[in-house]
């Protein structure tokens, strides 16, 4: 009898342990925040690639079919204003190290053409140049981030560009700017010193590039006389930790403000698969690479901590997002792909990772804004649609410049396939200057809802509301025929009791909770 009772107790305890392992609790410490989530984590990337610039942002001043301001689409500007785009990187990417900025200024009918050797071999007329980009950033209310040509350029070329856009006195470049119609300087702060120098930027070794960077950075004088330039070194490709080690070791700290990192999410590098016709195994594999961002940011940050314990130098993830095969019938060099709920999962989990590492990650740039890779906007002539990724970034913009709240995700809620496990739940939280708390939650599981118990500590906020992005199928996307198939809705799947909020997250969904007095 005793043996029977013992077995019953053992089985009951085992069941309770198993139940506890599958329940997820998120503990949010609302009174312990100390790091600010830099708004630039929500930055974007616009390269001369495919239809990102021409046909995406820019349709030309003489286009009577598409409403525009100085050639820039009005609908795009309004949509990006809703996102509160804080910073925009241009002109590349690989294109940056073939771009000579002086070819893109002056009368447009006198500008030379350029063959885009990296992306499709198309000939561009340089009608979209420095003035067009910087004036567009002013329309957006976004900080410009200019990527300089190191691979095929020269030190004086980048130094002259800095002088052209930033110098307010009398100088050859400032005078040239005024001749071209811009009296006041733009005051550009963010500068990339080359791009992917380990690859398309010149296939350099980190030791060689560190010396090149030191040279270029030295001559990038801050002509604004008001604030220092923010010089960003071309950083590592994914897990190349040696690259980060060399830059942090060999570049004097007074010459660099940021170190970049590039990492994309895909099924397999050589077999990226379709953007829309993917199976669950391919989805799982894509999320596996997306969630590796946590490891990458942690390990690169650890190296940076060794040389920069004060965390003065930022980790800048200036290229990230999903990368798949191009849509059938499109130019392979244009990297045009659709955007599904899988991309919403990539966006939600990645932004949570960046938020939670706000002490070191202080800028990130989604690749890319329009019609390329994980775009937030797709265009087709005069038509424009917003993607699931757009909606996630709009939901998350409440975190911009808010105080990161430390949180802990506990429990064994996992997503399993073929012997592998991924954490099903991703979360981050912040508190803004008005004391309002926002918690962003993602359930990546393809078929199971997940119940989460949120425990709030150190706050009296009690009013809860929420927004959700979800759909019936992982493969769902917004099309020009059905542009609102996926859009945000009010979220009611929660219960509040005391300091606890019980939330039920549908499969592959993103939720942002607002908690206020």
Q: Any idea which residues carry the catalytic annotation?
A: 196, 319
Distance CA 352, CA 247 (A): 27
Distance CA 338, CA 278 (A): 12
Distance CA 488, CA 392 (A): 9
CA 421 to the chain's CA centroid = 25
222, β-bridge pairs: none
- Residue 11 CB partners (closer than 8 Å, separation 6+): none
- Rounded to the nearest 5°, which phi and psi values hold at 270? -90, -10
- Token pair recorded at residue 258: 């940021």
58, β-bridge pairs: 54, 72
Is the separation of the CB atoms in 236 and 300 below 8 Å? Answer: yes
233, β-bridge pairs: 193, 259
Distance CA 281, CA 278 (A): 8
Distance CA 286, CA 282 (A): 6
Cα–Cα nearest to 341, from 309, 294, 374, 300: 374
457, β-bridge pairs: 29
Upper half-sphere CA count for residue 246 (Cβ side, 13 Å): 20
Bond prior to 91 in cis (omega within 30° of 0): yes
Distance CA 298, CA 303 (A): 9
Query: What is the pairing mode between strands 190-193 and 230-237?
Result: parallel
Distance CA 517, CA 455 (A): 16
Distance CA 423, CA 156 (A): 49
Number of H helices, E strands in the chain: 11, 27
């Amino acid at each position: 009898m005793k043996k029977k009772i013992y077995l019953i107790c053992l089985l009951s305890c085992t069941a309770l342990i198993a139940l506890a392992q599958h329940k997820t609790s998120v503990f949010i410490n609302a009174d312990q925040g100390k790091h600010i989530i830099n708004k630039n984590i929500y930055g974007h990337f616009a390269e001369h690639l495919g239809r990102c610039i021409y046909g995406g942002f820019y349709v030309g001043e003489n286009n009577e079919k598409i409403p525009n301001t100085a050639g820039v689409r009005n609908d795009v500007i309004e949509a990006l204003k809703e996102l509160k785009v804080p910073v925009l990187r241009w002109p590349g990417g690989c294109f940056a190290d073939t771009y000579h900025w002086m070819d893109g200024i002056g009368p447009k009918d006198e500008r030379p053409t350029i063959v885009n050797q990296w992306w499709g071999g198309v000939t561009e007329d340089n009608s979209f140049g420095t003035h067009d980009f910087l004036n567009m950033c002013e329309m957006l209310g976004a900080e410009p981030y200019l990527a300089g040509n190191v691979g095929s350029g020269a030190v004086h070329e980048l130094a002259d560009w800095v002088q052209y856009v930033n110098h307010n006195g009398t100088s050859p470049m400032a005078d040239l700017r005024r001749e071209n119609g811009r009296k006041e300087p733009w005051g550009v702060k963010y500068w990339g010193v080359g791009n992917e120098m380990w690859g398309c930027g010149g296939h350099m070794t980190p030791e060689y590039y560190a010396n090149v960077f030191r040279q270029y950075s030295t001559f990038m004088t801050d002509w604004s006389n008001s604030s220092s330039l923010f010089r960003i070194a071309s950083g590592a490709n994914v897990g190349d930790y040696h690259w980060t080690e060399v830059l942090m070791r060999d570049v004097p700290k007074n010459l660099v403000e940021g170190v970049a990192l590039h990492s994309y999410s895909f099924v397999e590098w050589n077999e990226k698969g379709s953007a829309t016709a993917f199976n669950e195994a391919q989805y799982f594999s894509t999320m596996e690479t997306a969630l590796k961002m946590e490891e990458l940011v942690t390990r690169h940050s650890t190296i940076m901590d060794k040389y920069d314990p004060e965390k003065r130098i930022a980790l800048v993830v200036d290229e990230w997002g999903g990368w798949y095969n191009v849509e059938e019938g499109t130019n392979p060099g244009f990297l045009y792909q659709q955007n599904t709920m899988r991309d919403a999962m990539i966006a939600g989990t990645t932004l949570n990772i960046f938020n939670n590492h706000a002490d070191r990650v202080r800028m990130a740039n989604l690749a890319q804004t329009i019609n390329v890779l994980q775009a937030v906007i797709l265009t087709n002539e005069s038509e424009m649609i917003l993607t699931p990724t757009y909606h996630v970034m709009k939901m998350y913009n409440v975190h911009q410049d808010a105080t990161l709240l430390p949180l802990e995700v506990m429990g064994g809620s996992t997503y399993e396939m073929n012997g592998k496990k991924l954490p099903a739940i991703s979360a981050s939280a912040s508190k803004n200057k008005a004391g309002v708390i926002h918690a962003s939650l993602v359930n990546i599981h393809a078929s199971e809802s997940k119940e989460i118990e949120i425990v709030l500590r150190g706050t009296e906020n009690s009013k809860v509301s929420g927004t959700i992005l979800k759909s019936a199928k992982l493969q769902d996307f917004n099309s020009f025929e059905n542009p609102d198939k996926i859009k945000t809705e009010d979220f009611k799947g929660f219960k509040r009791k005391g300091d606890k909020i019980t939330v039920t997250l549908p499969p592959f969904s993103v939720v942002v909770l607002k908690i206020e007095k």
